Amino acid sequence: MALIDHFNDFIARFDLPITRERPPMVAVLRLKGVIGAVGLGGRGLSVQSIEPLVRRAFSRRVRAVVLIINSPGGSAVQSAQLTQMIRAASRDKRIPVLAFTEDVAASGGYWLALAGDEIYADPMSIVGSIGVIAASFGAHELLAKIGVERRIYTAGDRKSLLDPFRPIDPKDVERLTEIQAEIHRGFIAAVKDRRALKLNGADDVLFNGDIWTGEKAKELGLVDGLGDYRAVCKRKYGDDVRFMAIDRPMSWLQRRLGRFAPPDIFAGEAGDGWAGQLIAAVEERSWWSRFGL
């Protein structure tokens, strides 16, 4: 009798349960909001706020890490560094990353999606905006009407670049345009590096700052497919796949009053008061409103 037959006979005789393989596990990390410092407290998606969650996601025995992205963009630096951090963790742990867009993955939000080995979108997601934007205001005429004189003293000819309380200086605009072009080139290089031969469009179409639905983004090669993370993961890893949410830890007060309680007043962070919350909300609203949301 073969050894395996002896083993099966032993199991049957004593009615011992046969150990089954654990169902596959997938870590789910949500990246929602404006990228970079927002409001007085510097809220928003940043390396500082997200790094602990990335470590937790990749420290588990998982088949993949899912990124659920819902962001209108923000800081180019934080977008690039967050993407690099996630890619480094993926290479180090040899765990694939799947990125899924929700309402918006635009500008820096799409840059985050580049951390995925594969990118999926909802057919109605807003995807793209591969460009650079800077916004300001001009108040020099208002100052003149109310009789206020602007006085500014600098060491360095360009130190007061784009001062909103002075008339526009063409040299300032030229310099800002040069800086934006440099950042834009970096963004384009990141897209081409991660999407390689998947892109299906001319540069002047893909990289002019335009936005598309998920359906059109798939045609252009900016995403790999359409669908939500549950359906895609079940297709990849089986119907018994399990999902493990990687959430930010709640404060002492939030644990007692619920996740939607006001920020912990003992946290000691700038901007935790109502004024900081209001400023952050206004700033975030301005980012989302660019996409009609």
For the chain, the distance separating the N- and C-terminal CA atoms, rounded to the nearest angstrom, is: 70
Size of the chain in residues: 293
Give the model confidence (pLDDT) of 45-54 as tens digits: 999 999 999 9
Using alpha carbons only, how large is the chain's radius of gyration in Å?
25
User: So where are the chain's domains?
Assistant: 23-129+210-293, 131-195
Q: Is-contact 78 108, C-beta < 8 A?
A: yes
pLDDT at 247: 83
pLDDT in tens, 260-284: 444 443 333 444 454 545 545 555 5
Between CA 191 and CA 212 the distance in angstroms is 16
Higher pLDDT, 262 or 67: 67
Calpha distance 268→280 (Å, rounded): 17
pLDDT given at position 158: 67
Per CATH, which fold does 23-129+210-293 belong to? 2-enoyl-CoA Hydratase; Chain A, domain 1 (3.90.226)
pLDDT for residue 258: 54
Question: Average pLDDT in the 126-137 region?
Answer: 79
Q: What is the rounded CA–CA span in Å between residue 266 and residue 257?
A: 15
Name the pairing type of β-strands 126-128 and 97-106.
Answer: parallel
Average pLDDT over residues 82-104: 96
Q: What is the pLDDT of residues 230-248, one digit of tens each?
A: 999 999 999 999 999 998 6
Residue pointed to by tokens 């400023």: 279
pLDDT band at 138 (very low <50, low <70, confident <90, very high): low
Reading the block at residue 131, the tokens are 């460009």
Three-state secondary structure string covering 205-241: HHCCCCEEEHHHHHHCCCCCEECCHHHHHHHHHCCCC
Give yes or no for residue 80 having a pLDDT over 90: yes
Query: pLDDT digit string (tens) for 153-189?
Result: 667 676 666 667 677 777 767 787 888 889 999 999 9
The pTM is what?
0.76
Q: Give 26's Cβ-side CA count (13 Å radius).
A: 26
CA distance 81 to 88: 10
- Give me 46's structure tokens: 């940043």
> Which distant-in-sequence residues (6+ apart) come within 8 Å of 93 by Cβ?
58
- pLDDT at site 218: 96
Q: Do residues 58 and 96 touch, judged by C-beta distance below 8 A?
A: no
